[in-house]
Chain A
Amino acid sequence: MTAMDHGAAHERIEDLLLDPKGLAALEASSAEDDVALREHLAGCPTCRADLETWARIHSALADALPGTAAAATVAVEPVEPPPSLRARVLSAVRAEAPTQAASLAPIPMAEARRRRWAWSGQPRPAWIGLAAALVVLVVGAGLLVDQAARLATARDDTQSLAQAMAAVDRVLAEPQHRVAALTTQAGAAGGTVSWTRHDLVVLTTALPAPKPGEVYRCWLSNDGQGWAIGKMDFAASTAYWVGSLDGWASFEIGPTTLFRVSLEPPGADPKSRSGPIVLEAALGA
């Protein structure tokens, strides 16, 4: 009997899947293909993982379907969302749109220039007008670019902070919210972590801006096991992180849960901490 390769193993697994009892019968089967498949699986973690995935789906299908075709047919009839839901959802997200833009509208430059060039009624020589136009073109363009860039940065910072503060408001509005203090390694107060079952918001002014390439990375740990959950963003001198716990179906904040921030050097693996802890909060305290 020749050894089975990946392709043949996957083909055999797919054949077994055609019969709901096929996977269950694999272990006891003395068929040549099944013996070869078992030998291949023993030395191939990739194919074992593939088989495990199929086995889970197979088991879930069997568990989800009632024992008669008639009952099962009813159980899997399509359940469509109400047609009005789409409009409701769109309306809800439109209500979430940021509202800071209007208050940060750029200075009306044309109006400002008109005021600066309001002469006292004396006639202007033509060359002065030409020179003035050139100066306005060269200097004004530079000022406009610089001012626009600064305004854009300020607008982005303000918008980001406003969104972080809105997240804090949402958390604090939940009756079950919790708040923990962040402390630096020297023991000084360094901001707060606020959270509910769904959201976690971190705000601090204790971190200096990172050097180019460095990042402040956020970690959650339970009983010594840690997960990288993202990096701190900066808006001016305030650093923040806004996250959702919803994507982690199995994560629960418990008595030993810690939130930590480390300063990672350029090029560090984002999934593994290599820099020092600079902030920490005990969420279970």
Chain B
Amino acid sequence: MHDSGQLSDSDSTDLDDARLAARIAAGEEAAFVIAYDRHAGFVFGSVARFLGDREAAAEVVQDAFVTLWRRARQFDSRSGSLLTWLLAIARHRAIDRLRADGRRPSRDAIRLDALTSEGGSSGNVGNPEVPPALIADRATDPASVATRRWAQSVVRTGIAELPENERTVILLGYAEDLSQAEIAERLEWPLGTVKSRTRRAMAQLRSRLGPVAELTEASGSAARAGTGSPD
């Protein structure tokens, strides 16, 4: 490992994924630290939500970043972002961990955030956020349940990363089905402000979530059914 010292601020913000991976492949610890600081929070948030176990999530994230260190030269920016690559590794490791533990991603897992904020409550029986269709999936198709859980975990982490005002408009729009005008009225914000914050939020979510393959697997058919084929 070459500890080539600190990269300058401009280096750390300007380095795109391809150059960052190339410098990591060359053994630059400083470049690796930039990648960790840039992506560890997102990867950890996704895995922790998926597994429902912070310590297990930490081990998976450590494993994913050690893999990045070993395999950085195999990263191909034409195939996706570095975050997408790390998430794919973490997802494999997380599913392996579930298999090794002999369990499936549980309702507890997706509610990790709720559990921690409620002081460790385990009372999620009848939890309204678990649709009956999903419970039926659990009995019949663990792989699709895992894919959907992973997609939900990644998406929730993406929303959690948004600035608070942008997060609020997304929550009101998607969780409560409020229109832009209704959100403006509820929050007493100008309609133009609600629209601009929604646009910014959607752009950031697309940037972070767009390349995540599991979103396609989990929701592609639903999306097509919902919008109709333009063909």
Question: Could you tell me which A residues sit within 8 Å of B by CB distance?
Answer: 14, 17-21, 23-24, 26-28, 38, 41-42, 48, 51-69, 71-82, 85-86, 88-90, 92-94, 96-98, 197-198, 230, 242-244, 246-250
Contact = CB atoms under 8 A, between A and B. Distances in A.
Contacts of A97: 1, 27
Contacts of A96: 1, 66, 69-70
B215 A42 contact: no
A197 B43 CA distance: 20
Given A71-B175, A249-B88, A85 B61 contact: yes
Say whether chain B's binding surface is mostly helix, strand, loop, or mixed: helix
A69 B176 CA distance: 6
A167 B92 CA distance: 18
A65 B175 contact: yes
Interface residues of B, number: 88
Given A19-B179, A72-B175, A59 B58 contact: no
A42 B167 CA distance: 34
Nearest to A41: B230
Given A76-B160, A80-B41, A243-B74, 18 more contacts: A14-B199, A21-B177, A23-B226, A54-B206, A57-B206, A59-B222, A61-B174, A62-B174, A65-B171, A74-B117, A75-B156, A76-B171, A88-B58, A90-B29, A92-B65, A94-B29, A244-B71, A244-B74
Contact of B171 (A28, A69, A248): A69
Nearest to B175: A72
Contacts of A98: 1
Interface of B: 1, 27, 29, 32-33, 36-37, 40-41, 44-45, 48-49, 54, 57-58, 61-62, 65-67, 69-71, 74-75, 79, 85, 88-89, 91-93, 96, 110-114, 116-118, 128-129, 148, 151-152, 155-157, 159-161, 167, 170-177, 179-180, 195, 198-199, 202, 205-206, 209-210, 213-220, 222-224, 226-228, 230-231
